[in-house]
Amino acid sequence: MIQGWFEDAQPTIMARVVIPRLMVNAYATFLVDTGSDSTGIHPDPTVFADLPYAQLENPFVITGATGSSRRFTEPATIAIASADGASVYHYDVDIWIATPQDVPAGLPCILGQDILKDLRMTHDPTDDILTFHVRRADRTITLSGH
């Protein structure tokens, strides 16, 4: 089981983002967004300060509730630890990346349906419960000692 929390009433989880080509390996918090098709990261001066935005490839334009903006795709792995620390679930995705000039500052990273489709969520903000039961992962690593 994966444990999330509510930050400013928004469902949130922590995950590791690995983008091999760009040598990114960082923890980030993600807004759980059931309305987003894909997982994406937005510029964060703390978490992604060293992301080499100039090396991004594969640009495309998305249109959403806030208008249109440019994104880039990169093969990535999103790794999410179980609540008890015994397992790490890995999801291989084509992550969407926004650059600092393409979006306003302060937007959260988004966990989208490319990963959420493999999880079953219990979402109860009244009782402060946000849990995910893993139905499938691209890889599951069991940590020794658990």
Of the candidates 86, 78, 85, 84, which has an alpha carbon nearest to the alpha carbon of residue 119?
78
CATH code (residue 37): 2.40.70.10
Q: What is the pLDDT of residue 135?
A: 98
Q: What is the pLDDT of residue 68?
A: 82
Strand partners, 68: 63
Q: How many domains is the chain partitioned into structurally?
A: 1
Tell me the residue ranges of DSSP E strands in the chain. 2-3, 5-7, 10-19, 24-32, 40-41, 59-64, 67-81, 87-97, 109-111, 119-124, 129-134, 139-142
Please tell me the distance from the alpha carbon of residue 2 to that of residue 118, in angstroms, as a whole number: 12
Residue 134, both tokens: 């893993």
Q: What is the pLDDT of residue 146?
A: 55
Q: What is the pLDDT of residues 41-79, one digit of tens each?
A: 998 877 888 899 999 988 999 887 767 888 999 999 999
- Provide the domain limits for residue 84: 2-142
Task: Output the average pLDDT for the chain.
Answer: 92
Q: Checking phi first, is residue 58 left (phi over 0); if not, alpha (psi -120 to 50) or beta? A: left
Reduced to 3 states (helix: H, G, I; strand: E, B; else coil), residue 127 is: helix
Q: What is the pLDDT of residues 31-43, one digit of tens each?
A: 999 999 999 999 8
